[in-house]
Amino acid sequence: MLTTPEKLVFALLILATAAAFLVPIVRRIRIILAGAPDDRFRDLWKRFRHAVVKVLLQRCTLRDERLFTGLMHVGIFYGALTFDTMTLSHTLEGFIDGFTLFGRSGLGLVFSFVIDVAAFTVMAGVIFLAFRRFVIRPKAYATTPGDSARIYLLITLATATYLYFEGFAVAHHPETARWSFLGPWLAGLIGRSGMSAAAIASHFKIAWWAHVVAVYAFIAYVPHSKYLHMFAGPVNVFFRRSAPSGELAPLDLEKSEVFGIEKLPDFSWKDNLDAFACMECGRCQDACPAFASGKPLSPKMIVFNMEKALLASDKALVAKERDDLAELVPATFTEGEIWTCTTCGACQKECPVEIEHIRKIVGARRSQVLTQSKFPPELNAFFRNMETNSNPWGLGFSKRADWGEPLEVRHIKDVTDAEYLFWVGCMGAFEDGGKGIAASLVKVLRAAGVRFGTLGTEEKCCGDSARRLGHEYLFQSLAAENIALFKQYGVKKIVTICPHGYNTIKHEYPKLLDLVPDLTAEDKSKLRAIEVVSHVELIDGLIAEGRIALKPAAAASYTFHDPCYLGRHNGLTEEPRSILHTALGGKPAELRRHGDDSFCCGAGGGLMWTEESLGTRINHLRVDEVIASGANLTAAACPFCLTMLRDGLKDKGREDIPVKDIAQLVAERLG
């Protein structure tokens, strides 16, 4: 097809495109590899299978909250794969006269039809997305409009030049039409124009060059654009976290030279990969309660600004010139951003390429607290109270078991063959709403004949809030004391009423054991074998086993608020609904955002203990959904959520809608 000089020019074009593509790719790979170590190389086959299924089936974009947008992305994705295949065919055709990738096979016939369909789906997707970005202009799409415009233009050029080529290809060689439906139609228009055979042959070659130049220009531009996610995204999905989404990794406080994330080199290589995998779709931002309530935090901008900082500092990063780099806060993240995150995990759940936002934000908090002693002023009292009395209010140790005295709740050491340690938690021990939940669970456990005990005045705060507020040293101190008690009393099972304690003790305490001194290998094995369950898991099991029976109830109008650390982070969404169905009958009037899409109450991430002075209160947004549901009762499964919902309803003048924990509702219905 091409003359020898043309083939030489084409070869130079290929080399120039490869260089334009690979140079920025290599630059980004070097930045990624400059990150701190992070073990993501276990279960490789499982990772590969997950990534292939998620990417090839486009489960990353087909999501309920943007279903039509997802369908448009799917059209562009599969269309791009089809055009990529055609580009390979065209490239080889430039060097081998008469070459077609699939020849005259049946697959070639099918492909000639599919490529025309792809032209429609790609252009439909581009038109739809361009309209959304430049006409509707949702907040989620606020970044890089110029980049988007260039991408849409290049995709349009690649599609248009292909159709230009296909029309003249069929006009020049009618036998190449095969099952194409656009080519013959365009060729018919060309034929009716009266164009000469020589002109058609000339246009055929010009069209071929126009198409390959348009496609190669797009390829060369991709590494400089957000469309880099086409390559980085699947890799990021492959290296996704295998641990539960609510789990934070411990710091080795004895061996670490840097605490948390102080500067860009402190990010792991996976954090850096996250930054380059971002699609800038803004789904994380749409789901974020902090952003929705008018606070400075956008999970999208956390990653977006991180990418810009990495690229701007690439030479110092690769050269390990740490002293030449600015501190992360405020150079890349602002204090308003890092201190308004509830760690609810909605951003991570929504991210199509599984970016991990929480570890970056908490890492920045750790550095601020442990290295610079910078944190919201109201946390001074919180940290001091936790250090002196192991609870957020600073109440004396001796009062921790007062809630249980009227119920004659016994210490676990006094309960022979106790089946469960009942972990009461700070809210259950000291806060009125939490005390009601604790007392109700005691009633349920006794009705079921479950032998249990508590740690009484020996129990310390689990440390969840301290850890998520960045005070890793305080968390590890509290956790070590509690772990010593588990060992001392031979604890085998633990039941909690607080999802935060559940998540921390179940997932984070075991990862801490190697850092706790004076534990033998046998001790660690026994401690890791402790079974930790939420009270909703236990109650659901007791009902299923027939160990408790509930009095029949007339069907009530009720709703259920899914706690973030129960539902989204730990997947417990069906158990509470099963309990409520038995206790109250019927199904809940589901809130607009429920299950693992639940909207945070605003208390997570330690923000229960800070002043929510920026924007709207998050719990107000949540109770608006409660009120809109029309339910006469709100069920909860977390003492933090219980408090936030009650306060929000009170602020809204709707104290007529009671909020009760599942344990309280079950205790009321005991036969």
Amino acid 405: pLDDT: 96
Higher pLDDT, 61 or 152: 152
Q: Calculate mean pLDDT across residues 296-313.
A: 97
Every domain range in the chain assigned CATH 1.20.950: 39-238
Report the percent of the chain where pLDDT is more than 90: 81
pLDDT at 57 over 90: no
* Average pLDDT of span 641-667: 97
Give the mean pLDDT of 542-566.
91
Distance CA 539, CA 558 (A): 19
Confidence at residue 94, expressed as pLDDT on a 0 to 100 scale: 84
Give the count of beta carbons closer than 10 Å to the beta carbon of residue 95: 13
Per-residue confidence at 64, pLDDT binned at 50, 70, 90? low
- pLDDT level of residue 112 (50, 70, 90 thresholds): confident
Confidence of residue 104 (pLDDT cuts 50, 70, 90): confident
> Phi then psi for 587, rounded to 5 degrees?
-120, 155
CATH code linked to domain 39-238: 1.20.950
**Res. 555 pLDDT band, cuts 50 70 90:** low
Least confident of 83-97, 217-231, 576-590, 634-648: 83-97
Q: pLDDT (tens digit, 9 = 90+) per residue, 311-334?
A: 999 999 999 999 999 999 999 999
Mean pLDDT lowest for which of 13-22, 70-79, 184-193, 613-622? 70-79
Q: 555 vs 510, which has greater pLDDT?
A: 510
Instruction: Return all residues near 342 (Cβ < 8 A) that are at least 6 apart.
Output: 289, 290, 564, 600, 602, 603, 604, 605, 607, 618
What is the CATH class of 264-371? mainly alpha
Average pLDDT (534-563) is 92
Q: In the chain, where does the domain assigned CATH 1.10.1060 lie?
A: 264-371
Give the mean pLDDT of the chain: 94
CA distances to 103, 369, 507 from 182, rounded to whole Å, are 19, 64, 57
For residue 65, is pLDDT > 70? Answer: no
Q: What are the backbone angles phi and psi of residue 496, rounded to the nearest 5°? A: -120, 155
DSSP classification of residue 599: P
pLDDT tens-digit series, residues 443-479: 999 999 999 999 999 999 999 999 999 999 999 999 9
What value does the mean pLDDT take over residues 400-428? 96
DSSP conformation letters of 270-316:
HHHHHHHH-----HHHHH-HHHHTT-S--HHHHHHHHHHHHHHTHHH
Is the per-residue pLDDT at 103 higher than 80?
no
What is the predicted pLDDT for the residue at 111? 86
Going by pLDDT thresholds of 50, 70 and 90, the confidence category of residue 31 is: very high
Residue tagged 């982070």 (tokens): 569
pLDDT, tens digit, 9 for 90 and up, residues 329-369: 999 999 999 999 999 999 999 999 999 999 999 999 999 99
pLDDT surpassing 70 at residue 173? yes
Per-residue pLDDT, averaged over 124-143, amounts to 92
Closest CA to 148 of 162, 129, 161: 129
Task: Report the residue count for the chain.
Answer: 671
Q: What are phi and psi of 550, to 5 degrees?
A: -110, 140
**Would you say residue 400 has pLDDT above 80?**
yes
- Choose the weakest-confidence range: 70-84, 209-223, 229-243, 266-280: 70-84
DSSP strands (E only) in 404-481: 420-423, 452-453
Confirm if 95 and 3 have CB atoms less than 8 A apart: no
Q: What is the mean pLDDT of residues 625-650?
A: 97
Stretch 533-554: mean pLDDT: 93
